[in-house]
């Protein structure tokens, strides 16, 4: 009989495999520990992170705490206080329920837990390393629980190598922190990263919590949404269309106080904004949905960010109509008003009354030319104007005026006739243009072998890209000073990103006067940029770099140059004069890589005479 080849995995190996689903990065640990603190009915939660969670993720809460038995049992697989039978999965009101999180975290990190219940005098202190219990002892502790997860993936170096830079990982940590904090505004949250306090959110309502996270300017952007039906209760806020951005950052769905992602419900919102947004723009929204727990399944995804609804089509229609109603109610959407303004109605007593015409007195004997000579083009004209006045002896005001102005009459004045041309015909000799623009998209230029067809947008991207990259690396950028400093508002995480990009942006020509907690003051811009384009360029730059910021400075500079070139390049539909066309063509072929755009797409194609002959031979 052949030897068996199927074996049961050891517990520590099974835990490590399960950890691959539950714990993908430090942010996964943050999510699980914060949700446990919320389930423990804490009113104050503190998150402490070092090196974006790679070194330390610690969550301290003042919740119910655990006794000695529960403290040891919570690290076992599928040990949970949330469910007792399989049917409970379809009637959940808590966050964690499968009992996998703590076991998975303990399998791949050094975990230190301190917990005490209110009625107990002493608490318990447990240390676990790679699923192995190191110490368990009694300790004097405050009420609540403290979880410290250190050296994540210490025993799986391959997984640790797949982690991104500290900036990217901390961005994911902040995302998870914001989601839990927004779902529970009654709980106060604090986030400390590498010793500095990033957030301190007091207990508040939904609107105040959103403003505290995303900055004071957010308040004026919000439009409240409210709808209550038997199937769903909707509350929250949507952003005004004029504040829509290119990025999809500030978009949040919460179902029964749990953050979820739903492309289907997002489509309902975009449908409600139809006709209000510029192409490519995304509205912000913070929507809280309450549905009966038995109508949803939240166990279809390991991270529980996707859920299944029983009747998605009805939810789609309700959500879309609720948002349309809110946008119309707050005069955001265009509406037709057929109500008559009563102020414009004719009063009843004036109904049959004739209009009174104003009386005009005309002196039929007045002749302005009777005692005056014809007006001449001299300064004396202003002194010899005769007007009937009621002031006695008014003539004495002008005695001697004619004598004083006799000398002025002899002066000749330079003609200021407008010719309609900036230069005379013989002053500037323009040669016939060798380039032509087609459909405001392509530039055609003749060459010896045939002709070039150049994509004006891609060509301009290449020119700007090399200019910006040279400016950043050589530290020699020119700036145009603004008459009045420009102040732009961003959320706290966007400000964090801008502060890191500040040196590179200054090398492109930006001049920053001040970096505040939620705003930045700019007094100088790159030469090629208009003041109206600044906010668009910076928003697109933040959007492009938000998730994947390269670790090396060169790659980061390359990304900045690409993003700014794409934002500032001429678009399809822009008319270019003959001089602008020639300058663009000359600048393109002065580049190091004129054949492709920064995004590796062809900037031009060549049509030879032979190609044209073949087409005509058909």
Query: Looking at per-residue confidence, does 11 or 502 come out higher?
Result: 502
Report d(CA 131, CA 122) in Å as an integer: 25
* Same domain, residue pair 165 and 224: no
CB–CB of 251/282 below 8 Å? yes
Q: Which pLDDT value is given to residue 78? A: 66
Q: Measuring CA to CA, how many Å separate 295 from each of 3, 312, 581?
A: 49, 10, 61
Of 329, 351, 374, the last residue of a domain is 329
Q: Are residues 317 and 181 in the same domain?
A: no
User: Quick one: 237 and 130 in the same domain?
Assistant: no
> The tokens 């993720």 sit on which residue?
57
Average pLDDT, the chain: 79
Give the position of tokens 């959110």: 201
Whether residues 507 and 485 share a domain: the answer is yes
CATH code, domain with 469:
3.30.1370.100
Block residue for tokens 């005098």: 121
What is the rounded distance in angstroms from the CA atom of residue 574 to the CA atom of residue 576? Answer: 6
Q: What is the pLDDT of residues 398-446, one digit of tens each?
A: 665 555 555 555 555 555 555 444 444 433 333 444 788 888 889 998 8
Domain termination residue (choose one: 329, 354, 382): 329
DSSP-based three-state secondary structure for 61: strand
Helix (H) or strand (E) holding 64: none
Q: What is the pLDDT of residues 549-558, one digit of tens each?
A: 554 555 777 8
Say if residue 180 is in the same domain as residue 244: no
CB 153 within 8 A of CB 160: yes
pLDDT value at 32 more than 60: yes
* CATH of residue 128: 3.30.565.10
Mean pLDDT of 586-613: 88
What are the E-state strand segments in 42-131?
44-50, 56-61, 110-116, 123-129
User: What's the pTM?
Assistant: 0.66
CA 259 – CA 239 distance, rounded (Å): 18
CB 53 within 8 A of CB 191: no
Residue 391 has a pLDDT of 53
pLDDT of res. 384: 43
Between the alpha carbon of residue 189 and those of residues 48, 64, 178, 448, the distances in Å are 11, 17, 10, 70
484: in domain:
yes
Closest-CA residue to 252 (of 197, 206, 217, 212): 206
Residue 293 belongs to a domain = yes
Which structural domain range is residue 322 located in?
210-329
How far is residue 189's CA from residue 206's CA, in Å, rounded to a whole number? 14
In which band, very low, low, confident or very high, does the pLDDT at 366 lie, cut at 50, 70 and 90?
A: confident
Highest mean pLDDT among 77-86, 98-107, 207-216, 380-389: 207-216
Q: Nearest CA to 118 among 96, 102, 141?
A: 141
* CB 600, CB 562: distance < 8 Å: no
What integer pLDDT is reported at residue 426 of this predicted model? 39
Q: CA-based angle 418:421:423, to the nearest 5? A: 120
380 pLDDT above the threshold of 50: no
For the chain, how many structural domains are there in total?
A: 3
Do residue 163 and residue 72 come from a single domain? yes
Please say if the pLDDT value at position 226 is more than 80. Answer: yes
Question: In the predicted model, is pLDDT for residue 535 greater than 80?
Answer: yes
Q: Average pLDDT, stretch 539-566?
A: 71
Residue 191 has pLDDT above 90, yes or no: yes
The answer to whether the beta carbons of residues 210 and 237 sit under 8 Å apart is yes
> pLDDT value at position 429?
36
* CATH number of the domain residue 265 falls in: 3.30.230.10
> Do 46 and 183 sit in the same domain of this protein?
yes
- Range from 225-234, 270-279, 283-292 carrying the lowest mean pLDDT: 270-279
Q: Are 609 and 448 in contact (CB under 8 A)?
A: no
3-class SS of residue 134: strand
Tell me what pLDDT residue 301 has: 57
Q: How far apart are CA 236 and CA 182, in angstroms?
A: 11
In this structure, the answer to whether residues 297 and 154 fall within a common structural domain is no
Q: Is the pLDDT of residue 252 over 80?
A: yes
Say yes or no: 40 and 175 in one domain. Answer: yes
The four Cα atoms 312, 315, 320, 325 give a dihedral, to 10 degrees, of 170
Residue 528 lies in a domain: yes
Q: Is there a domain that residue 618 lies in?
A: no
Quick check: is 350 in a domain?
A: no
In a domain, 395, yes or no: no
Left if phi > 0, otherwise alpha if psi is -120 to 50, otherwise beta: which for 215? Answer: left
Does 342 have pLDDT greater than 90?
no
| 475 has a pLDDT exceeding 90 | no
18 band by pLDDT with thresholds 50, 70 and 90: low
What is the pLDDT, as a whole number, of residue 42?
A: 92
In a domain, 167, yes or no: yes
Please state the rounded mean pLDDT for residues 226-233: 89
What is the SS3 assignment for 541? helix
pLDDT: is 191 or 357 the higher one?
191
User: Tokens at residue 182, please?
Assistant: 């927004």
Query: pLDDT at position 500, please?
Result: 80
Q: 123 pairs with which residues across the strands?
A: 139
Q: Please report the pLDDT score of residue 358 as a whole number.
A: 79
Domain finish residue from 201, 226, 243: 201
Which of residues 400 and 123 earns the better pLDDT score?
123
**Between these two residues, 423 and 598, which has the higher pLDDT value?**
598
Q: Is 411 inside any structural domain?
A: no
Closest CA to 148 of 59, 257, 227, 38: 59
Q: Where is mean pLDDT largest: 194-208, 297-311, 422-436?
A: 194-208
Do 222 and 195 have their domain in common? no
**Which ranges in 144-302 belong to alpha helices (H)?**
157-161, 166-183, 206-214, 263-272
258: tokens are 């749990």
Q: Are residues 32 and 124 in the same domain?
A: yes
Same domain? 214 vs 197: no
Out of 186-195, 254-263, 420-429, 556-565, least confident range = 420-429
590 closest CA partner among 573, 603, 574: 603
Are 147 and 113 a contacting pair, CB within 8 Å? yes
Comparing 11 with 86, the larger pLDDT belongs to 11
Residues whose CB is less than 8 angstroms from the CB of residue 580 and which lie 6 or more positions away in sequence, other chains included: none
């Amino acid at each position: 009989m052949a030897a068996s080849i199927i074996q049961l995995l050891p517990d520590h190996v099974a835990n490590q495999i399960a950890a691959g689903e539950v714990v993908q990065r430090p942010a996964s640990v943050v999510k699980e520990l914060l949700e446990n603190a919320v389930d423990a009915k804490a009113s104050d939660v503190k998150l402490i992170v070092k090196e974006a969670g790679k070194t330390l993720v610690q969550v301290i809460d003042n919740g119910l705490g655990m006794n000695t038995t529960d403290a040891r049992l919570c690290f076992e697989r599928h040990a949970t206080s949330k469910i007792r039978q399989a049917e409970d999965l379809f009637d959940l009101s808590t966050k964690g329920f499968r009992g996998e999180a703590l076991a998975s975290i303990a399998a791949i990190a050094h975990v230190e837990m301190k917990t005490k219940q209110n009625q107990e005098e002493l608490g318990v202190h447990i240390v676990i390393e790679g699923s192995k219990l190191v110490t368990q002892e009694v300790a004097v502790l405050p009420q609540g629980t403290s979880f410290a997860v250190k050296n994540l993936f210490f025993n799986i170096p391959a997984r640790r190598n797949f982690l991104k830079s500290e900036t990217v990982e901390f961005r994911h940590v902040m995302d998870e922190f914001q989601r839990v904090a927004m779902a529970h505004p009654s709980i106060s949250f604090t986030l400390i990263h590498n010793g500095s306090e990033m957030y301190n959110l007091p207990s508040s309502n939904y609107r105040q919590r959103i403003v505290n996270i995303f900055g004071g300017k957010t308040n004026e952007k919000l439009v409240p949404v409210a709808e209550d039906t038997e199937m769903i209760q909707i509350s929250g806020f949507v952003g005004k269309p004029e504040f829509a951005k290119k990025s999809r950052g500030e978009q949040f769905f919460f179902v029964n106080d749990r953050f979820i992602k739903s492309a289907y419900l997002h489509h309902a919102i975009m449908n409600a904004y139809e006709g209000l947004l510029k192409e490519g723009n995304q509205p912000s929204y913070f929507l809280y949905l309450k549905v009966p727990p038995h109508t949803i399944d939240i166990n279809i995804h390991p991270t529980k960010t996707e859920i299944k609804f029983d009747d998605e089509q009805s939810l789609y229609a309700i959500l879309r109509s609720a948002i349309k109603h809110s946008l119309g109610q707050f005069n955001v959407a265009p509406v037709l008003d057929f109500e008559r303004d009563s102020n414009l109605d004719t009063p009843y007593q004036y109904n049959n009354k004739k209009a009174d015409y104003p009386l005009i007195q005309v002196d039929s004997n007045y002749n302005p030319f009777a005692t005056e000579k014809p007006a001449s083009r001299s300064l004396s004209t202003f002194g010899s104007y005769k007007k009937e006045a009621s002031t006695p002896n008014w003539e004495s005001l002008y005695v001697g005026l004619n004598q004083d102005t006799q000398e002025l009459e002899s002066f000749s004045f330079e003609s200021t006739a407008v010719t309609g041309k900036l230069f005379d015909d013989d002053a500037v000799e323009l040669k016939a243009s060798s380039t032509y623009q087609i459909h405001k998209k392509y530039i055609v230029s003749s060459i010896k072998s045939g002709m070039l067809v150049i994509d004006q947008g891609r060509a301009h991207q290449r020119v700007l890209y090399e200019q910006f990259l040279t400016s950043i690396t050589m530290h020699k950028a020119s700036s145009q000073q603004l008459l009045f400093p420009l102040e732009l508002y961003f959320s706290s995480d966007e400000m964090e990103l801008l502060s890191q990009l500040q040196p590179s942006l200054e090398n492109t020509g930006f001049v920053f006067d001040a970096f505040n907690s939620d705003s930045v003051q700019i007094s100088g811009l790159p030469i090629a940029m208009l003041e109206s384009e600044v906010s668009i360029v910076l928003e697109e730059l933040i959007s492009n770099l938000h998730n994947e910021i390269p670790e090396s400075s060169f790659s980061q500079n390359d990304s900045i140059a690409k993003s700014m070139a794409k934002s500032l390049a001429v678009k399809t539909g822009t008319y270019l004069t003959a001089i602008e066309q020639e300058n663009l063509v000359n600048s393109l072929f002065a580049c190091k890589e004129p054949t492709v755009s920064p995004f590796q797409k062809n900037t031009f194609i060549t049509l030879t005479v032979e190609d044209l002959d073949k087409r005509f031979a058909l």
